[in-house]
Amino acid sequence: MKFETEIENDNNIDPCDIGGEIYNAVKDMTIGTVRIMQKHDDLSPVNHLYVCLSAAAGALSVAAKIMSIPDVEKEELGSWAGLPPSREAILAASLLVARSTVPVAEGTVIEYSPANLKAALDAMAKVLGNPDHSMLAPDMVRSAARQSSPAHFHDNTEIVIKKAGIHTQH
């Protein structure tokens, strides 16, 4: 099976637009939930953090499943789909988000790319203490393997800012 992230639609909606919309929706919903908690006298940052991390965990769980689609026949995907994502795949998704997300004064820039995937998989290998990526989608791992390892995890910040045309001071 080929690793694809294409969204089929009749209106040719750009996945980047959809991604931006869902990012804003989840962010706004999470902020709204924390405000409701505060109005009900729950002023605990620990509780607020738990709510925020729970929202992120839901999205990361879905991303982890997408990142770990096995190279099997279509008939076998049904049984795989019913399994929870592996913790390794959740880690890979988390690291990919951390590498691809660049907060700037004007907002947030998110750039998913094979180079960012390579950085995330390199970091995953360091965290886990081994370079085993067998739980991830083979085509995705091959795509990342064609990239050079970054000098450090966030060495892409200036490049992303330039691509986005945003001028900030650090």
Per the domain annotation, does 6 fall within a domain?
Answer: no
Question: Which of the pair, 93 or 159, is modelled with greater confidence?
Answer: 93
Does the structure show a pLDDT above 70 at 1? no
Per the domain annotation, does 5 fall within a domain?
Answer: no
Per the domain annotation, does 170 fall within a domain?
Answer: no
Number of separate domains in the chain? 1
Per the domain annotation, does 86 fall within a domain?
Answer: yes
Q: What is the pLDDT of residues 86-118, one digit of tens each?
A: 999 999 999 999 999 988 887 888 888 999 999
State the chain's mean pLDDT as an integer. Answer: 87
Question: Which of the pair, 17 or 91, is modelled with greater confidence?
Answer: 91
Structural domain harbouring 145 = 15-164
Does the structure show a pLDDT above 80 at 8? no
Which whole number is the average pLDDT over 126-131? 95
User: Which pLDDT does position 5 carry in this prediction?
Assistant: 44
Per the domain annotation, does 4 fall within a domain?
Answer: no
Per the domain annotation, does 9 fall within a domain?
Answer: no
SS (H, E, C) the chain: CCCCCCCCCCCCCCHHHHHHHHHHHHHHHHHHHHHHHHHCCCCCHHHHHHHHHHHHHHHHHHHHHHHCCCCCCHHHHHHHHCCCCCHHHHHHHHHHHHHHEEEECCEEEECCCHHHHHHHHHHHHHHHCCCCCCCCCHHHHHHHHCCCCCCCCCCCHHHHHHHHCCCCCC
Per the domain annotation, does 143 fall within a domain?
Answer: yes
